[in-house]
Amino acid sequence: MDNFWKEALTVDVGQRLRQLREERGISMRALARNSNLSANALSMIERGLTSPSVSTLNKLAAALQVPIVAFFKHEVVKEKVVFRKAAERTRIPFERGMLEGLGGESFAGRVEAFQIRLENGANSGPNQLLHSGSELVYCLQGRLAYEVDHHTFLLEPGDSLLFSPQTLHRWHNPGPDVVNAIVVISSFDQDESPSEYHLAAILAEENFPGVDMDEGVKPGMSFEEG
């Protein structure tokens, strides 16, 4: 995992922090006071000398009164045709995993696609997700547990899952192996970005409690949780 993190291209969180702070007319000293962080630590983050933990971003988001996903959001020009080289993907690390954009963030149509890489125990957070747009999940590697409308599906390499808009869902890696999966969301509301719901959820806390799943679940099967 160390090499993967070192090679990953990440959003410049420090630059985004400075932008959010200056847009609100908040001095570094005031932000330090409101977030219970030192001004020196904030200065190092803004200058890109250190990477903030998710718990630190939570404190900063609360002090700036913005959702945590605001640190990773940037305006892009929407295009009718989007080509992405593997090395040019937007990569955002989170606790025990990585989210990689596959061009949907720059696409003018209502289709978003991203790849998730999950270590053991990585999950989408304690709360279920809800957004417009149909969602397709395709497992490339490992075993991925997806809870959809109170049923849990265990995806293995080659397995897929498709479900309707406005359906409660969440996911996690229940096994020892790294999970790689592709998620495609289509036909969502024009003013919505479903991938941001996933990103906001997984960045909400630094350490999430594991999703309670039945040990007897079998690949490709679902069950009603008690």
2-11 mean pLDDT: 38
42-67 mean pLDDT: 84
Gyration radius of the chain over CA positions: 18
Task: Kindly give the residue spans of alpha helices, DSSP state H, lying in the chain.
Answer: 2-7, 13-23, 28-35, 39-46, 54-64, 194-202
Supply the pLDDT for residue 201: 67
On the question of pLDDT at 226 being above 80, the answer is no
Which is it for strands 169-172 and 144-148: parallel, antiparallel or unpaired?
antiparallel
| Domains of the chain and CATH, by start | 2-71 (1.10.260.40), 86-202 (2.60.120.10)
Asked if residues 201 and 130 have their Cβ atoms less than 8 Å apart, the reply is no
- What is the pTM assigned to this prediction? 0.66
Supply the pLDDT for residue 29: 93
Supply the pLDDT for residue 157: 98
On the question of pLDDT at 135 being above 60, the answer is yes
Mean of all residue pLDDT scores within the chain: 80
Q: What is the pLDDT of residues 172-209, one digit of tens each?
A: 999 999 999 999 999 988 767 777 767 666 665 433 33
Q: What is the pLDDT of residues 95-110, one digit of tens each?
A: 788 889 999 888 889 9
Q: Give CA–CA dist 61/20, Å, rounded.
A: 10
Q: Give CA–CA dist 36/33, Å, rounded.
A: 5
Q: What is the pLDDT of residues 148-159, one digit of tens each?
A: 999 999 999 999
Q: Give CA–CA dist 114/181, Å, rounded.
A: 9
Q: Above pLDDT 70, what percent of the chain?
A: 79
Window from 31-40, 48-57, 111-120, 180-189 with minimum mean pLDDT: 48-57
CB within 8 Å of 164: residues ≥ 6 apart: 134
Residue with tokens 């977030």: 35
On the question of pLDDT at 78 being above 80, the answer is yes
What are the residues facing 147 on neighbouring strands?
A: 152, 170
Residue with tokens 């990689």: 100
Residue 171 banded pLDDT, cuts 50, 70, 90: very high
Supply the pLDDT for residue 198: 74
Return the closest-CA partner of residue 202 out of 91, 128, 136, 148: 128
On the question of pLDDT at 87 being above 50, the answer is yes
Tokens matching residue 59: 């404190």
Q: Give CA–CA dist 70/68, Å, rounded.
A: 5
CB within 8 Å of 49: residues ≥ 6 apart: none
Q: Above pLDDT 90, what percent of the chain?
A: 43
211-215 mean pLDDT: 35
Residue 75 banded pLDDT, cuts 50, 70, 90: low
On the question of pLDDT at 142 being above 80, the answer is yes
DSSP annotation string for 28-72:
HHHHHHHHT--HHHHHHHHTTSSPPPHHHHHHHHHHHTS-GGGGT
